[in-house]
Amino acid sequence: MSPPDLGVLAIHKRASNWIQRLREISGVLTRFGFGSVMQLIGLERFLPARWQGLQDTGQAAVDPAVRLRLALEQMGVTAIKLGQALGARTDILPLEYARELRKLQEEVPPVSFEAARAMVESELGEALDTLFLEFDAKPVASASLSQVHRAVTRAGEVVAVKVQRPGIETQVETDLDILVRLARRAEHYSDWVRSQNIASMAQDFARQLMEELNFLTEARATEQLRENLVEDERATAPRVYWSLTRRRVITFEYIEGIRLDDYEALDEAGVDRRALADAFAELMLTQIFYEGYFHADPHPGNLRYTADEKIAFLDCGNVGSMGRRMRDSFIRLLMAVLDRDAQGVFDQVIVIGTISEATNLQDLESDMEKLISHYGQRMSSSGQLGEMLEEIMGIVFEHRIRMPSIFPQLTRSLAVTEGVCVGLNPDFDFEQAAQTTSRLVYRDWFSPAHLIGEVADALRTLRRYSLRLPRQLSNVLAQGLAGGITLKINPVGLEKPLHRMDAMANRISFALVVAAIILSSAIIFTSERLAVEAGGTAQVLSIVYVVAGVVLGAWLLYS
C-alpha cells in the first residue's frame, strides 16, 4: 500500500478549514440579522438550518450599523481590521456606518511568554538570553496581531520588541481568501458592488494586511518617517535595530513619554498645551503637504510627548504616501473647502474621482452647494473641518463616484489630527492652520527656483522619450510588416443589446419551427394519398402536430 500524498492531504485540510471558517462567518452574520447577504450571493447552503428564524433574536431593534460592528467583533481579527479600514472609507460606506465602525477595538489577551519567546528565538535564530540582557515576560502592550515587550540589548540599550502572535498569519490568510472570493462573487450579483470595484478593494485590503503582518514593511516605514523628521527638533520616530528585526519580530528604540490625551500628566509636567497643539498640527500638515509621506493613524495612543520636549510618532505601520500630482489635487480641494467655494469643491471632485453611469452631475453640484452653505462662512466651532471633509466624502458615496484610496486616508488623518489638537486646546483653529500651510506650499511650488527645477525635469523626461521614440517606431513598423500587430476591440455597454438580439433570434427560430409543425399537420390532414395509405394514423398524427403547434405557439406568445 502506497503512503498518502502529503500534498493532497494538505490541500484537503486547507479546504476543510476554509469551509469550516465560512460556516462560522455565516453563523455570525445570521445571529446579527445579516444572513440574507449570504443568500443574495448564492451561498445559503453555508447558513445554519432554519436561519431565518435564528435572525429574530432581539437584534432587530438594534441599529443596523451597531449590529454590523458587533458582528465584525465576533468574527475576529481580520474582520475587525476590515471594519477599521472601512471606518475611513466614507466614499463607499454611509457616514453613520463609518462612524460606528471606528469604535472597533482590538482588545485581546496577550499570548504566553513561552509562545512569545519561541517566536523571537525562531525568527532571530538564537536563544533569548543570548540576544538580550533583559526581556520582560509581561508585555507593555497587546493587540490583535502582535504584542510588545520591553527588553535590554547586549549593548545595554532599552528597546521595544514587537512579536507577532503565533498562528495569526495562517488565520488571516484563510479569512482574506474568503473575503476576496466573496467580493468577487458579490460583483456577479450586484451592479452597485461591481460599480464600486469592491473585489479590487478587497484585494488591496488583503495585500495591505499581509504587508502589516510583514514587520519588515513597518520597519522601513518607521525608518523613512524618522529620516523625514531628523531635521525637525520638535519630533522624532523610533530607531530600528535591524540586526534584531525579522519578518515576525521587530525591535525599536524604547521611547517613554506622556500620551497626548493625558491632559492631567501634561499639565503636571508644565507643558504648554496650546503650543503643543500648534506644533502637532504643523508637523502633520507638513508631512502631508510637503513630504507626501505621513502617519495615517495619529491617534493619541500612537503619540508621546518625551522628556526632551519632542512629539514621538509610534506604531508607524499605517502610513500614507502620495506624489506631487496627488498632493496638488488634494490641496486644491482643501483650499476650495476652506474658501467655501462650492463650485471649486465640485470641480475638484470631478477631476479626482471616477464618475459612474449613475452619477447625476446636477444633483451632485446642488448637494455640494447645500453642504457648503450649511457650514456657513466660518466654522461655527472647533473640530468641524474634519467633519466637513467626511461629509463631502459621504456625498461622493451617494453619487456613486469612486475616489483614489489615498483620499479617505487623508481625510481621516486630518480629522484625527484635528481631534487631537482640539483636545489639547479647545480653542484651536485647525482651519486657519490648514489654510496657512496649504498657501505656503503653493507659494513654494510657484517660486522661481522650484519652477526652474520642474522645467529641467520636464526637459530631461522629453530628452529620454525622444531618444526612445525612433527605436519604438522602428519596432512597431517591423511588427506591422511581419503581420505581428493585433487590434483588440473591447465593446463597452453592448452586453444588454446583444442579449436582446440573441433572444430575438431565438424567438424567430422558434416561431419558424412552430410554423413548420402547423404547416406539416395541415399538409398531412389534407393529403388524400396519405389518408389512403396510412388510414387513421395520418389523421391522428396531424392532430398531434396541431396540438403541439398550438401549445408551442401559445408559449411563444406568452414569453
Among 224-238, 318-332, 362-376, 445-459, which range has the highest average pLDDT? 224-238
Q: Are 526 and 520 in contact (CB under 8 A)?
A: no
Residue 48 lies in a domain: no
**Coil, helix or strand for 252?**
strand
Neighbours of 58 (CB within 10 A): 6
Residue pLDDT, tens place only, 43-92: 666 666 555 544 545 555 578 888 888 888 888 888 888 888 888 777 67
Contacts of 215 (CB under 8 A, 6+ apart): 146, 162, 164, 245, 246, 247, 248, 249, 250
Average pLDDT, the chain: 81
Q: Are 245 and 215 in contact (CB under 8 A)?
A: yes
Residue 81 lies in a domain: no
Residues 411 and 275 in one domain: yes
Neighbours of 394 (CB within 10 A): 19
Residues 407 and 426 in one domain: yes
Q: What is the pLDDT of residue 507?
A: 72
Mean pLDDT, to the nearest integer, of 84-103? 80
Residue 485 lies in a domain: no
Q: What is the pLDDT of residue 478?
A: 75
Of the listed ranges 154-163, 340-349, 513-522, the least confidently predicted one is 513-522
Residues 231 and 330 in one domain: no
Residue pLDDT, tens place only, 133-150: 999 999 998 888 899 999
Q: What is the pLDDT of residue 492?
A: 57
Q: Are strands 311-313 and 235-236 parallel, antiparallel or unpaired?
A: parallel
Domain boundary among 232, 254, 276: 254
Residues 157 and 286 in one domain: no
Put simply, whether the predicted model's pTM sits higher than 0.75 gets the answer no
Domain boundary among 188, 220, 254: 254
Residues 207 and 311 in one domain: no
Residues 452 and 520 in one domain: no
Active site residue 427: no
- Alpha carbons within 13 A on the beta-carbon side of 246: 13
Of the listed ranges 13-27, 74-88, 162-176, 328-342, the least confidently predicted one is 13-27
Of the listed ranges 339-348, 368-377, 455-464, the least confidently predicted one is 455-464
Catalytic residue among 297, 315, 367, 429: 297
Residue 88 lies in a domain: no
Q: Are 43 and 19 in contact (CB under 8 A)?
A: no
Q: Which of 386, 384, 382 is nearest to 299 (CA)?
A: 386
Residues 199 and 175 in one domain: yes
Residues 229 and 276 in one domain: no
Domain boundary among 443, 467, 491: 467
Q: What is the DSSP string of 295-355?
A: ES---GGGEEE-TTS-EEE--TTSEEE--HHHHHHHHHHHHHHHTT-HHHHHHHHHHHSEE
Q: What is the DSSP string of 75-143?
A: H-HHHHHHHHHHTT-TTTS-HHHHHHHTT-----PPPPHHHHHHHHHHHHSS-HHHHEEEE-SS-SEE-
Residues 243 and 331 in one domain: no
- Cα 192 to the center of its chain, rounded Å: 16
Residue pLDDT, tens place only, 400-429: 888 887 887 888 888 889 989 999 999 998
- Per-residue pLDDT at 9 exceeds 50: no
Rounded Cα–Cα distance for residues 239 and 208 (Å):
23
Residue 156 lies in a domain: yes
Rounded Cα–Cα distance for residues 542 and 555 (Å):
20
How many structural domains are present in the chain? 3
Question: Domain span at residue 522?
Answer: 508-558
Amino acid symbol at 25: I
Residues 141 and 187 in one domain: yes
Mean pLDDT, to the nearest integer, of 37-48? 68
Residue 523 lies in a domain: yes
Mean pLDDT, to the nearest integer, of 262-279? 94
Residue 235 lies in a domain: yes
Residues 157 and 247 in one domain: yes
Residue 36 lies in a domain: no
Residues 171 and 224 in one domain: yes
